[in-house]
Structure 1
């Protein structure tokens, strides 16, 4: 009788060990599959990040911050951030009552004001304007003088028409 109990315990222990082995093997296969999937996804995301970084570099090509030759024109002024200074001076033109004096259109849904500014180099900038409903773009020539005043001259403009 004692031998039968040991035999049953041995068979029971062997079945538990077999179950553990199969279960662990299945778990390992599933984990390896998950790792492979995540690795592929990670590689895809890294490729996307690299593409976005290249796109950002392309977009920054025409900017004062990345143009050392253009920044050299302002070294003697000791401005920490010439782009921000010029953009602030342009935004100050919005403070006048009514339409911005640089915008050659009368506001149809309020006053036209400049919203976004992209300083291209030491002479030109692009600006977006809107009255809340209608919008357009400006190309502006500017001159930053030694006394830190800025003269703005409108070069070209565009008002988008609505198609509806």
Structure 2
């Protein structure tokens, strides 16, 4: 009789313990599925942002790449060349930058910080003197002698607060 009662108690204990373990695993699984859905949404949003950011980018625009390739330029070398030429204008002596139509108001020099080549004709860049900053929109042309010509179309300086 004692053996029978002990066996029943053991079986009940095993049943309750197994049930708790299974419920715990089910809860963990459901939480991981919820996290997985959140991560999938985040990844999807990030992919959309990457696609959106690559819309106006020279190395992602097939027509602009074809334009340069038809003229005999290697685009993988041309993009860094164009950016380097603009950044080298930061090194020109004097207080005024050749492309930035604003003089520095802090005693420094306005310098171009970042550049984005939109296509085979347009560039957008931002500039700053450390306190004041703005953006400019310009066109560029690569001549037959592989020289660059820049023309600032529009620019603005952000107001300080």
* TM-score, normalised with respect to structure 1: 0.87
Counterpart in 1 of 2:80? Answer: 84
| Cα shift at 1:13 | 4.2
The verdict on how the C-alpha distance between 1:148 and 1:17 changes in structure 2, with shifts beyond 3 A counting, is farther
Gaps of 5+ in 1: 1-6
Deviations 1:84-120 (A, max 9, x none): 2211211111111233211111112211100011110
Out of 8-17 and 124-133, give the one that drifted further: 8-17
Question: Are 2:133 and 1:139 aligned?
Answer: no
Q: Specify the alignment match of 2:127 in structure 1.
A: 129
Moved more, 33-42 or 72-81: 72-81
Does the Cα contact within 8 Å between 1:77 and 1:146 map onto a contact in 2?
A: no
Greater CA deviation, 14-23 or 111-120?
14-23
1:46 alignment partner, one of 37, 40, 49: 40
Instruction: Point out 4+ residue stretches in structure 1 off by more than 4 angstroms.
Output: none
Of 100, 103, 106, 2:103 maps to: 106
**C-alpha deviation, 1:42, in angstroms:** 0.7
In the aligned structure 2, how far is the partner of 1:53 from the partner of 1:73? 28
CA distance in 2, matches of 1:29, 1:79: 59
Alpha-carbon distance in structure 2 between the residues aligned to 1:45 and 1:153 = 45
> What RMSD, in angstroms, separates the aligned Cα atoms of the two structures?
1.7
* Structure 2: 5+ residue stretches without partners: none
The match for 1:21 is 15
- Using a 3 Å threshold, how does the CA distance of structure 1 residues 79 and 58 change in structure 2: closer, same or farther? closer
**In structure 1, distance between residues paired with 2:142 and 2:82:** 8
Task: Find the structure with the greater CA-based Rg.
Answer: 1
Query: Are 1:62 and 1:120, in contact at CA under 8 Å, matched by a contact in 2?
Result: yes
